Homo-oligomer: A and B are copies of this chain.
Amino acid sequence: MGRKIEVTELVLRDAHQSLLATRMAMEDMVPVCEDLDNAGYWSLECWGGATYDACIRYLNEDPWERLRTFKKLMPKTPLQMLLRGQNLLGYRHYEDDVVARFCDKSAENGMDVFRIFDALNDLRNLQTAIAAVKRTGKHAQGTICYTVSPVHTIDAFVEMAQQLKDMGCDSICIKDMAALLKPQPAYDLVKGIKEKCGEDTLVHVHCHATTGVTLVSYMKAIEAGCDIVDTSVSSLSLGSGHNPTEALVEMLEGTGYETGLDLDRIKPVSDHFAKVRTRYRHFMGEFTGVDTEIFKSQIPGGMISNMESQLKAQGAGDRLHEVLEEVPRVRADCGFPPLVTPSSQIVGTQAVFNVIMGKYQTLTSEFADLMLGYYGSTLGEKNPDVLALAEARQKKPVITGRPADLLTPEWEQLRSEATALDGCNGSDEDVLTFAMFPQVSTKFFKTRSEGPKSLAKDPVSQAPAAAAPTGKAEPSREAVTYVVTLHGKEHQVKVAPAA
Protein backbone atom coordinates (compact mmCIF):
# COMPACT_ATOMS: atom_id res chain seq x y z
CA MET A 1 0.00 0.00 0.00
CA GLY A 2 1.21 3.47 -0.96
CA ARG A 3 1.05 6.62 1.10
CA LYS A 4 -2.50 7.35 2.17
CA ILE A 5 -4.05 10.59 0.96
CA GLU A 6 -6.91 11.62 3.19
CA VAL A 7 -10.04 13.26 1.80
CA THR A 8 -12.59 15.70 3.16
CA GLU A 9 -15.99 15.44 1.47
CA LEU A 10 -17.61 18.81 0.79
CA VAL A 11 -20.98 17.79 -0.60
CA LEU A 12 -22.90 18.61 2.59
CA ARG A 13 -21.60 22.20 2.80
CA ASP A 14 -19.36 23.96 0.29
CA ALA A 15 -20.56 22.02 -2.76
CA HIS A 16 -24.17 23.12 -2.49
CA GLN A 17 -23.07 26.53 -1.21
CA SER A 18 -21.04 26.97 -4.41
CA LEU A 19 -23.46 25.34 -6.86
CA LEU A 20 -26.97 25.61 -5.39
CA ALA A 21 -26.80 28.90 -3.47
CA THR A 22 -26.62 27.02 -0.11
CA ARG A 23 -30.29 26.15 -0.40
CA MET A 24 -30.18 22.40 0.16
CA ALA A 25 -32.55 21.26 2.88
CA MET A 26 -31.52 18.75 5.52
CA GLU A 27 -34.09 16.23 4.23
CA ASP A 28 -32.09 15.92 0.99
CA MET A 29 -28.88 15.11 2.88
CA VAL A 30 -30.20 12.61 5.41
CA PRO A 31 -30.49 9.68 2.95
CA VAL A 32 -26.75 9.61 2.17
CA CYS A 33 -25.33 10.12 5.65
CA GLU A 34 -24.83 6.42 6.34
CA ASP A 35 -22.89 5.86 3.12
CA LEU A 36 -20.80 8.98 3.69
CA ASP A 37 -19.99 7.90 7.23
CA ASN A 38 -18.75 4.53 5.97
CA ALA A 39 -16.83 5.61 2.86
CA GLY A 40 -13.57 6.28 4.66
CA TYR A 41 -13.30 10.08 4.64
CA TRP A 42 -10.96 11.95 6.94
CA SER A 43 -13.77 14.39 7.65
CA LEU A 44 -17.17 15.44 6.37
CA GLU A 45 -17.63 19.17 5.97
CA CYS A 46 -21.27 19.82 6.77
CA TRP A 47 -21.72 23.06 8.69
CA GLY A 48 -20.62 26.69 8.83
CA GLY A 49 -19.90 28.99 5.95
CA ALA A 50 -23.20 30.26 4.61
CA THR A 51 -25.23 27.22 5.72
CA TYR A 52 -26.10 28.66 9.12
CA ASP A 53 -27.43 31.84 7.53
CA ALA A 54 -29.33 29.91 4.83
CA CYS A 55 -30.91 27.63 7.43
CA ILE A 56 -32.61 30.43 9.32
CA ARG A 57 -33.10 32.82 6.39
CA TYR A 58 -34.59 30.45 3.82
CA LEU A 59 -35.19 26.98 5.20
CA ASN A 60 -36.77 27.61 8.62
CA GLU A 61 -34.27 25.06 9.95
CA ASP A 62 -32.47 25.35 13.25
CA PRO A 63 -28.77 25.07 12.31
CA TRP A 64 -27.94 23.54 15.69
CA GLU A 65 -30.54 20.87 15.16
CA ARG A 66 -28.97 20.19 11.75
CA LEU A 67 -25.58 19.75 13.42
CA ARG A 68 -26.95 17.37 16.04
CA THR A 69 -28.70 15.34 13.35
CA PHE A 70 -25.48 15.06 11.33
CA LYS A 71 -23.65 13.85 14.44
CA LYS A 72 -26.31 11.25 15.13
CA LEU A 73 -26.31 10.00 11.53
CA MET A 74 -22.54 10.13 11.03
CA PRO A 75 -21.00 9.10 14.34
CA LYS A 76 -17.78 7.56 12.94
CA THR A 77 -16.28 10.25 10.72
CA PRO A 78 -15.21 13.62 12.14
CA LEU A 79 -17.55 16.48 11.21
CA GLN A 80 -15.93 19.64 9.90
CA MET A 81 -17.01 23.27 9.73
CA LEU A 82 -15.79 26.51 8.21
CA LEU A 83 -15.41 29.37 10.69
CA ARG A 84 -14.59 32.97 9.77
CA GLY A 85 -12.34 33.56 12.78
CA GLN A 86 -13.45 36.55 14.84
CA ASN A 87 -16.52 36.98 12.54
CA LEU A 88 -17.79 33.51 13.46
CA LEU A 89 -20.47 32.94 10.80
CA GLY A 90 -21.65 36.55 10.80
CA TYR A 91 -20.44 39.72 9.21
CA ARG A 92 -18.76 41.69 12.01
CA HIS A 93 -16.11 41.06 14.63
CA TYR A 94 -17.36 39.57 17.87
CA GLU A 95 -15.91 40.07 21.28
CA ASP A 96 -13.70 37.17 22.44
CA ASP A 97 -16.15 35.72 24.93
CA VAL A 98 -18.80 35.33 22.21
CA VAL A 99 -16.26 33.64 19.95
CA ALA A 100 -15.26 31.23 22.71
CA ARG A 101 -18.87 30.41 23.53
CA PHE A 102 -19.61 29.69 19.88
CA CYS A 103 -16.71 27.25 19.67
CA ASP A 104 -17.75 25.58 22.93
CA LYS A 105 -21.32 25.12 21.80
CA SER A 106 -20.28 23.86 18.36
CA ALA A 107 -18.03 21.24 19.91
CA GLU A 108 -20.70 20.29 22.40
CA ASN A 109 -23.26 19.80 19.63
CA GLY A 110 -20.95 17.56 17.61
CA MET A 111 -18.38 19.53 15.67
CA ASP A 112 -14.93 17.93 15.46
CA VAL A 113 -12.75 19.85 13.01
CA PHE A 114 -12.80 23.67 12.94
CA ARG A 115 -11.34 25.22 9.79
CA ILE A 116 -10.66 28.78 10.88
CA PHE A 117 -9.77 31.60 8.49
CA ASP A 118 -9.69 35.36 8.14
CA ALA A 119 -10.39 37.17 4.87
CA LEU A 120 -7.27 39.34 5.24
CA ASN A 121 -5.07 36.51 6.54
CA ASP A 122 -4.60 38.56 9.71
CA LEU A 123 -3.81 35.64 11.97
CA ARG A 124 -4.65 37.65 15.08
CA ASN A 125 -8.28 37.34 13.94
CA LEU A 126 -7.89 33.57 14.33
CA GLN A 127 -6.23 33.38 17.72
CA THR A 128 -9.31 33.44 19.98
CA ALA A 129 -11.11 30.79 17.94
CA ILE A 130 -8.02 28.56 17.76
CA ALA A 131 -7.48 28.80 21.53
CA ALA A 132 -11.16 28.14 22.22
CA VAL A 133 -11.23 25.07 19.98
CA LYS A 134 -8.05 23.76 21.56
CA ARG A 135 -9.66 24.04 25.01
CA THR A 136 -12.54 21.82 23.84
CA GLY A 137 -10.02 19.16 22.74
CA LYS A 138 -11.25 19.33 19.16
CA HIS A 139 -9.18 19.78 15.98
CA ALA A 140 -8.20 23.40 15.23
CA GLN A 141 -7.21 23.88 11.61
CA GLY A 142 -5.41 27.16 10.85
CA THR A 143 -6.16 28.45 7.40
CA ILE A 144 -4.29 30.55 4.85
CA CYS A 145 -6.39 32.17 2.10
CA TYR A 146 -4.44 31.69 -1.11
CA THR A 147 -4.13 34.67 -3.38
CA VAL A 148 -1.71 36.03 -5.96
CA SER A 149 0.04 39.40 -5.61
CA PRO A 150 3.55 40.80 -5.58
CA VAL A 151 3.72 40.40 -1.79
CA HIS A 152 2.18 36.92 -1.59
CA THR A 153 5.33 34.90 -2.09
CA ILE A 154 5.73 31.26 -1.20
CA ASP A 155 7.94 32.37 1.67
CA ALA A 156 5.26 34.69 3.03
CA PHE A 157 2.69 31.88 3.03
CA VAL A 158 5.12 29.46 4.62
CA GLU A 159 5.78 32.01 7.33
CA MET A 160 2.02 32.22 8.00
CA ALA A 161 1.88 28.44 8.27
CA GLN A 162 4.64 28.48 10.87
CA GLN A 163 2.79 31.14 12.86
CA LEU A 164 -0.38 29.07 12.77
CA LYS A 165 1.55 26.08 13.99
CA ASP A 166 3.01 28.20 16.78
CA MET A 167 -0.54 29.24 17.71
CA GLY A 168 -1.31 25.58 18.38
CA CYS A 169 -3.08 24.57 15.17
CA ASP A 170 -3.46 20.84 14.62
CA SER A 171 -3.23 21.23 10.87
CA ILE A 172 -2.70 23.87 8.19
CA CYS A 173 -5.17 24.49 5.40
CA ILE A 174 -4.42 26.24 2.13
CA LYS A 175 -7.79 27.63 1.09
CA ASP A 176 -8.03 28.41 -2.61
CA MET A 177 -11.54 29.81 -2.95
CA ALA A 178 -10.99 31.31 -6.41
CA ALA A 179 -9.18 28.33 -7.97
CA LEU A 180 -6.01 30.38 -8.45
CA LEU A 181 -3.59 27.78 -7.09
CA LYS A 182 -1.67 26.43 -10.06
CA PRO A 183 0.23 23.13 -9.96
CA GLN A 184 3.74 24.54 -9.50
CA PRO A 185 2.90 26.94 -6.65
CA ALA A 186 0.83 24.15 -5.08
CA TYR A 187 3.93 21.97 -5.10
CA ASP A 188 6.23 24.74 -3.85
CA LEU A 189 3.85 25.82 -1.11
CA VAL A 190 3.27 22.37 0.35
CA LYS A 191 6.97 21.56 0.05
CA GLY A 192 7.84 24.84 1.74
CA ILE A 193 5.47 24.25 4.65
CA LYS A 194 6.69 20.70 5.16
CA GLU A 195 10.32 21.85 5.17
CA LYS A 196 9.72 24.78 7.49
CA CYS A 197 7.11 23.38 9.88
CA GLY A 198 8.20 19.76 9.87
CA GLU A 199 7.22 16.73 7.80
CA ASP A 200 4.68 15.73 10.45
CA THR A 201 2.71 18.96 9.98
CA LEU A 202 -0.66 18.01 8.50
CA VAL A 203 -1.22 20.00 5.31
CA HIS A 204 -4.75 20.16 3.93
CA VAL A 205 -5.44 21.74 0.51
CA HIS A 206 -8.85 23.11 -0.43
CA CYS A 207 -9.32 24.18 -4.05
CA HIS A 208 -12.32 25.16 -6.08
CA ALA A 209 -12.51 23.89 -9.65
CA THR A 210 -13.47 27.13 -11.44
CA THR A 211 -10.33 27.55 -13.53
CA GLY A 212 -10.02 23.90 -14.51
CA VAL A 213 -6.44 23.38 -13.34
CA THR A 214 -6.76 22.50 -9.67
CA LEU A 215 -7.05 18.73 -9.89
CA VAL A 216 -3.57 18.95 -11.39
CA SER A 217 -2.63 21.17 -8.44
CA TYR A 218 -3.84 18.42 -6.10
CA MET A 219 -1.57 15.95 -7.90
CA LYS A 220 1.45 18.21 -7.46
CA ALA A 221 0.50 19.08 -3.86
CA ILE A 222 0.30 15.36 -3.10
CA GLU A 223 3.68 14.78 -4.70
CA ALA A 224 5.03 17.51 -2.41
CA GLY A 225 3.65 15.77 0.68
CA CYS A 226 0.12 17.12 1.08
CA ASP A 227 -1.83 14.97 3.53
CA ILE A 228 -5.49 15.84 2.93
CA VAL A 229 -7.46 17.29 0.01
CA ASP A 230 -11.05 18.48 -0.38
CA THR A 231 -13.41 17.11 -3.02
CA SER A 232 -17.10 16.68 -3.68
CA VAL A 233 -18.99 13.73 -5.18
CA SER A 234 -19.07 14.05 -8.96
CA SER A 235 -22.75 14.82 -9.38
CA LEU A 236 -22.31 17.99 -7.33
CA SER A 237 -18.88 19.08 -8.51
CA LEU A 238 -17.03 21.28 -11.00
CA GLY A 239 -18.03 24.73 -12.25
CA SER A 240 -17.50 27.10 -9.33
CA GLY A 241 -17.64 24.06 -7.07
CA HIS A 242 -14.89 21.51 -6.47
CA ASN A 243 -13.03 18.63 -8.04
CA PRO A 244 -14.93 15.34 -8.11
CA THR A 245 -14.14 12.82 -5.38
CA GLU A 246 -14.29 9.85 -7.73
CA ALA A 247 -11.87 11.48 -10.18
CA LEU A 248 -9.36 12.03 -7.37
CA VAL A 249 -9.57 8.38 -6.36
CA GLU A 250 -9.11 7.16 -9.94
CA MET A 251 -6.39 9.67 -10.73
CA LEU A 252 -4.13 8.23 -8.04
CA GLU A 253 -4.22 4.63 -9.30
CA GLY A 254 -0.74 3.32 -9.72
CA THR A 255 0.93 6.48 -8.45
CA GLY A 256 1.94 5.12 -5.06
CA TYR A 257 -0.69 7.29 -3.37
CA GLU A 258 -4.16 6.10 -2.50
CA THR A 259 -7.20 7.44 -0.71
CA GLY A 260 -8.59 4.19 0.66
CA LEU A 261 -12.07 5.56 -0.12
CA ASP A 262 -14.78 3.02 -0.87
CA LEU A 263 -16.20 3.93 -4.30
CA ASP A 264 -19.08 1.51 -3.76
CA ARG A 265 -20.21 3.73 -0.89
CA ILE A 266 -19.69 6.91 -2.88
CA LYS A 267 -21.63 5.81 -5.98
CA PRO A 268 -25.05 5.85 -4.25
CA VAL A 269 -24.23 9.25 -2.75
CA SER A 270 -23.42 10.65 -6.17
CA ASP A 271 -26.50 9.05 -7.72
CA HIS A 272 -28.62 10.59 -4.99
CA PHE A 273 -27.30 14.11 -5.53
CA ALA A 274 -27.63 13.77 -9.30
CA LYS A 275 -31.37 13.58 -8.66
CA VAL A 276 -31.40 16.19 -5.90
CA ARG A 277 -29.50 18.64 -8.07
CA THR A 278 -32.26 18.78 -10.69
CA ARG A 279 -34.76 19.68 -7.98
CA TYR A 280 -32.66 22.74 -7.09
CA ARG A 281 -31.96 23.68 -10.68
CA HIS A 282 -33.55 27.10 -10.17
CA PHE A 283 -30.71 28.01 -7.81
CA MET A 284 -27.93 26.92 -10.13
CA GLY A 285 -25.79 29.52 -11.81
CA GLU A 286 -25.36 29.62 -15.56
CA PHE A 287 -21.70 28.80 -15.27
CA THR A 288 -20.76 25.14 -15.36
CA GLY A 289 -17.60 25.22 -17.42
CA VAL A 290 -14.14 26.57 -16.89
CA ASP A 291 -13.20 30.24 -16.43
CA THR A 292 -9.54 31.05 -16.81
CA GLU A 293 -10.08 34.81 -17.02
CA ILE A 294 -9.86 34.86 -13.22
CA PHE A 295 -6.10 34.33 -13.55
CA LYS A 296 -5.78 37.62 -15.39
CA SER A 297 -8.23 39.78 -13.49
CA GLN A 298 -7.89 38.05 -10.08
CA ILE A 299 -11.58 38.83 -9.77
CA PRO A 300 -13.88 35.93 -8.88
CA GLY A 301 -17.00 35.54 -11.02
CA GLY A 302 -19.41 36.37 -8.20
CA MET A 303 -17.66 39.68 -7.63
CA ILE A 304 -17.94 40.63 -11.30
CA SER A 305 -21.70 40.10 -11.39
CA ASN A 306 -21.95 42.16 -8.20
CA MET A 307 -20.07 45.08 -9.77
CA GLU A 308 -22.10 44.77 -12.95
CA SER A 309 -25.35 45.30 -11.12
CA GLN A 310 -23.90 48.25 -9.19
CA LEU A 311 -22.85 49.82 -12.48
CA LYS A 312 -26.22 49.24 -14.07
CA ALA A 313 -27.96 50.81 -11.08
CA GLN A 314 -25.85 53.91 -11.77
CA GLY A 315 -26.65 53.88 -15.48
CA ALA A 316 -23.03 52.99 -16.21
CA GLY A 317 -23.46 49.40 -17.37
CA ASP A 318 -21.01 50.01 -20.22
CA ARG A 319 -18.08 50.83 -17.93
CA LEU A 320 -17.36 47.35 -16.56
CA HIS A 321 -14.11 47.16 -18.48
CA GLU A 322 -12.81 50.27 -16.68
CA VAL A 323 -13.85 48.84 -13.32
CA LEU A 324 -12.10 45.55 -14.05
CA GLU A 325 -8.93 47.51 -14.67
CA GLU A 326 -9.47 49.60 -11.55
CA VAL A 327 -9.91 46.66 -9.16
CA PRO A 328 -6.23 45.61 -9.14
CA ARG A 329 -5.20 49.22 -8.49
CA VAL A 330 -7.61 49.59 -5.56
CA ARG A 331 -6.44 46.24 -4.25
CA ALA A 332 -2.83 47.41 -4.39
CA ASP A 333 -3.73 50.65 -2.59
CA CYS A 334 -5.23 48.78 0.36
CA GLY A 335 -2.32 46.33 0.75
CA PHE A 336 -3.30 43.39 -1.50
CA PRO A 337 -5.98 41.69 0.55
CA PRO A 338 -7.13 38.29 -0.78
CA LEU A 339 -10.40 38.89 -2.63
CA VAL A 340 -12.89 36.93 -0.57
CA THR A 341 -15.95 37.99 1.44
CA PRO A 342 -15.97 40.73 2.68
CA SER A 343 -12.82 42.19 1.11
CA SER A 344 -13.99 41.35 -2.42
CA GLN A 345 -17.16 43.40 -1.96
CA ILE A 346 -15.32 46.28 -0.29
CA VAL A 347 -12.66 46.51 -3.01
CA GLY A 348 -15.15 45.98 -5.83
CA THR A 349 -17.54 48.66 -4.64
CA GLN A 350 -14.72 51.18 -4.20
CA ALA A 351 -13.53 50.43 -7.74
CA VAL A 352 -17.04 51.13 -9.03
CA PHE A 353 -17.11 54.43 -7.10
CA ASN A 354 -13.69 55.40 -8.48
CA VAL A 355 -14.81 54.86 -12.06
CA ILE A 356 -18.15 56.62 -11.71
CA MET A 357 -17.27 59.53 -9.42
CA GLY A 358 -13.56 59.97 -9.98
CA LYS A 359 -10.59 58.34 -8.30
CA TYR A 360 -11.16 58.26 -4.51
CA GLN A 361 -13.51 61.27 -4.74
CA THR A 362 -15.83 59.25 -2.53
CA LEU A 363 -14.67 56.57 -0.11
CA THR A 364 -17.13 54.01 1.17
CA SER A 365 -17.17 53.70 4.93
CA GLU A 366 -16.13 50.04 4.67
CA PHE A 367 -13.21 50.80 2.38
CA ALA A 368 -12.02 53.55 4.71
CA ASP A 369 -12.23 51.15 7.67
CA LEU A 370 -10.28 48.57 5.71
CA MET A 371 -7.58 51.17 4.97
CA LEU A 372 -7.44 52.16 8.64
CA GLY A 373 -6.97 48.61 9.91
CA TYR A 374 -10.41 48.02 11.43
CA TYR A 375 -10.74 44.67 9.61
CA GLY A 376 -7.18 43.70 10.47
CA SER A 377 -3.81 44.07 8.83
CA THR A 378 -2.89 43.27 5.25
CA LEU A 379 0.33 41.74 4.01
CA GLY A 380 1.11 44.63 1.69
CA GLU A 381 1.80 48.27 2.54
CA LYS A 382 -1.07 50.71 2.06
CA ASN A 383 -0.96 53.73 -0.23
CA PRO A 384 -0.27 56.68 2.17
CA ASP A 385 -2.27 59.18 0.08
CA VAL A 386 -5.37 57.01 0.17
CA LEU A 387 -4.75 56.32 3.85
CA ALA A 388 -4.83 60.07 4.53
CA LEU A 389 -8.14 60.34 2.68
CA ALA A 390 -9.54 57.50 4.79
CA GLU A 391 -8.48 59.15 8.05
CA ALA A 392 -10.07 62.41 6.97
CA ARG A 393 -13.31 60.66 6.02
CA GLN A 394 -13.74 58.48 9.10
CA LYS A 395 -12.36 60.94 11.63
CA LYS A 396 -10.76 58.06 13.48
CA PRO A 397 -7.16 56.92 13.66
CA VAL A 398 -5.26 54.13 11.99
CA ILE A 399 -5.11 51.08 14.23
CA THR A 400 -2.40 48.46 14.17
CA GLY A 401 -3.63 46.27 17.04
CA ARG A 402 -6.05 43.36 16.85
CA PRO A 403 -9.45 44.84 15.97
CA ALA A 404 -11.32 42.76 18.54
CA ASP A 405 -9.23 44.32 21.32
CA LEU A 406 -11.38 47.41 20.88
CA LEU A 407 -14.54 45.51 21.73
CA THR A 408 -16.09 45.34 25.18
CA PRO A 409 -17.92 42.31 26.61
CA GLU A 410 -21.26 41.88 24.88
CA TRP A 411 -22.56 38.44 25.84
CA GLU A 412 -24.92 39.55 28.61
CA GLN A 413 -26.39 42.27 26.44
CA LEU A 414 -26.88 39.79 23.57
CA ARG A 415 -28.45 37.28 25.95
CA SER A 416 -30.97 39.74 27.33
CA GLU A 417 -31.90 40.99 23.86
CA ALA A 418 -32.24 37.47 22.47
CA THR A 419 -34.26 35.99 25.30
CA ALA A 420 -36.74 38.84 25.03
CA LEU A 421 -37.62 37.69 21.52
CA ASP A 422 -40.78 35.81 20.69
CA GLY A 423 -39.88 32.13 20.23
CA CYS A 424 -36.34 32.28 21.63
CA ASN A 425 -35.81 29.17 23.77
CA GLY A 426 -33.28 30.81 26.06
CA SER A 427 -30.40 28.50 25.12
CA ASP A 428 -26.89 29.74 24.45
CA GLU A 429 -27.36 28.39 20.92
CA ASP A 430 -30.27 30.75 20.37
CA VAL A 431 -28.31 33.66 21.78
CA LEU A 432 -25.50 32.88 19.32
CA THR A 433 -27.99 32.75 16.44
CA PHE A 434 -29.27 36.14 17.50
CA ALA A 435 -25.75 37.51 17.90
CA MET A 436 -24.79 36.61 14.35
CA PHE A 437 -28.09 37.36 12.61
CA PRO A 438 -30.13 39.77 14.72
CA GLN A 439 -32.82 40.60 12.13
CA VAL A 440 -33.15 37.18 10.54
CA SER A 441 -33.19 35.33 13.86
CA THR A 442 -36.00 37.54 15.17
CA LYS A 443 -38.18 36.29 12.35
CA PHE A 444 -36.83 32.73 12.53
CA PHE A 445 -37.57 32.28 16.26
CA LYS A 446 -41.21 33.12 15.54
CA THR A 447 -41.62 30.63 12.69
CA ARG A 448 -39.30 27.87 13.96
CA SER A 449 -42.12 25.74 15.33
CA GLU A 450 -43.56 25.39 11.81
CA GLY A 451 -40.59 23.17 10.94
CA PRO A 452 -38.21 23.06 7.95
CA LYS A 453 -39.31 24.29 4.54
CA SER A 454 -37.74 22.87 1.42
CA LEU A 455 -37.13 25.11 -1.59
CA ALA A 456 -36.57 22.13 -3.90
CA LYS A 457 -39.07 21.60 -6.69
CA ASP A 458 -40.14 18.35 -8.19
CA PRO A 459 -39.17 18.10 -11.85
CA VAL A 460 -42.73 18.34 -13.17
CA SER A 461 -43.52 21.68 -11.60
CA GLN A 462 -40.05 22.90 -12.43
CA ALA A 463 -40.04 22.33 -16.17
CA PRO A 464 -42.21 25.33 -17.16
CA ALA A 465 -40.66 27.54 -14.51
CA ALA A 466 -37.25 26.90 -15.96
CA ALA A 467 -38.07 29.30 -18.77
CA ALA A 468 -38.09 32.14 -16.26
CA PRO A 469 -34.64 33.51 -15.36
CA THR A 470 -35.73 34.19 -11.79
CA GLY A 471 -36.69 30.59 -11.29
CA LYS A 472 -40.02 31.73 -9.86
CA ALA A 473 -42.54 28.95 -9.82
CA GLU A 474 -45.10 29.26 -12.56
CA PRO A 475 -47.86 26.93 -11.49
CA SER A 476 -47.59 23.93 -13.74
CA ARG A 477 -51.30 23.27 -13.83
CA GLU A 478 -52.10 26.58 -15.47
CA ALA A 479 -53.42 26.52 -19.01
CA VAL A 480 -51.75 28.68 -21.66
CA THR A 481 -53.68 30.20 -24.51
CA TYR A 482 -52.08 30.17 -27.95
CA VAL A 483 -53.29 31.56 -31.22
CA VAL A 484 -53.09 28.78 -33.76
CA THR A 485 -53.34 29.48 -37.47
CA LEU A 486 -54.62 26.53 -39.44
CA HIS A 487 -55.23 26.85 -43.15
CA GLY A 488 -55.02 30.60 -42.77
CA LYS A 489 -57.70 30.72 -40.06
CA GLU A 490 -56.91 31.80 -36.51
CA HIS A 491 -58.05 29.71 -33.56
CA GLN A 492 -57.68 30.44 -29.85
CA VAL A 493 -56.34 27.25 -28.36
CA LYS A 494 -56.01 26.57 -24.66
CA VAL A 495 -53.25 24.16 -23.82
CA ALA A 496 -53.05 22.51 -20.42
CA PRO A 497 -51.40 19.37 -19.12
CA ALA A 498 -53.72 16.39 -19.02
CA ALA A 499 -55.10 15.91 -15.52
CB distance from A425 to the nearest CB of B (A): 40
Assess whether B251 is in contact with A213, with CB atoms less than 8 Å apart.
yes
Chain A positions 469-499 with a Cβ under 8 Å from a chain B Cβ: 469-473, 475, 479-487, 491-499
Q: Within 8 Å CB of A219, what residues of B?
A: 183, 216, 219-220
Q: A182-B250, A213-B247, A467-B464 are in contact. Are A234 and B289 (CB under 8 A)?
A: yes
Q: Within 8 Å CB of A212, what residues of B?
A: 215, 234, 238, 243-244, 246-247, 250
* Bound-complex Cα distance A243 to B213 (A): 10
CB distance from A241 to the nearest CB of B (A): 10
Quickly give the copy total for this chain: 2
A290 at the interface (CB under 8 A from B): yes
Q: Within 8 Å CB of A493, what residues of B?
A: 484-486
Assess whether A483 is in contact with B497, with CB atoms less than 8 Å apart.
yes
CB distance from A135 to the nearest CB of B (A): 41
Chain A positions 208-241 with a Cβ under 8 Å from a chain B Cβ: 211-213, 215-216, 219-220, 234-235, 237-238
Q: A496-B483, A498-B482 are in contact. Are A253 and B182 (CB under 8 A)?
A: yes
* Bound-complex Cα distance A473 to B499 (A): 22
* Bound-complex Cα distance A284 to B469 (A): 9
A184 at the interface (CB under 8 A from B): yes
A412 at the interface (CB under 8 A from B): no
* Bound-complex Cα distance A292 to B253 (A): 13
Assess whether A289 is in contact with B235, with CB atoms less than 8 Å apart.
yes
Q: Within 8 Å CB of A487, what residues of B?
A: 491
* Bound-complex Cα distance A212 to B479 (A): 41
- Nearest residue, chain B, Cβ from A471: B467
Assess whether A290 is in contact with B237, with CB atoms less than 8 Å apart.
yes
A105 at the interface (CB under 8 A from B): no
Assess whether B247 is in contact with A292, with CB atoms less than 8 Å apart.
yes
- Nearest residue, chain B, Cβ from A491: B486
- Nearest residue, chain B, Cβ from A213: B251
- Nearest residue, chain B, Cβ from A497: B482
A254 at the interface (CB under 8 A from B): yes
Q: Within 8 Å CB of A250, what residues of B?
A: 182, 211-213, 292, 295
User: Which of A234, A290, A293, A493 has most chain B Cβ within 10 Å?
Assistant: A290
Chain A positions 249-292 with a Cβ under 8 Å from a chain B Cβ: 249-251, 253-255, 263, 267, 281-282, 284, 286, 288-292
| New contact pairs (20) apart from A182-B253, A234-B291, A484-B494, CB-CB < 8 Å | A184-B253, A184-B254, A212-B250, A216-B219, A216-B251, A219-B220, A244-B290, A247-B290, A247-B292, A250-B292, A466-B469, A467-B475, A469-B472, A469-B473, A470-B473, A479-B485, A480-B497, A483-B499, A484-B493, A485-B495
Instruction: Enumerate the 3 nearest inter-chain pairs by beta-carbon distance, A residue then B residue, closest first.
Output: A212-B247, A184-B254, A246-B292
Q: List 21 A-B contacts (CB under 8 A).
A: A183-B219, A183-B255, A184-B254, A211-B247, A212-B243, A235-B289, A250-B292, A286-B469, A288-B288, A463-B467, A464-B467, A466-B467, A467-B468, A467-B473, A469-B471, A480-B497, A482-B495, A483-B498, A483-B499, A485-B493, A487-B491
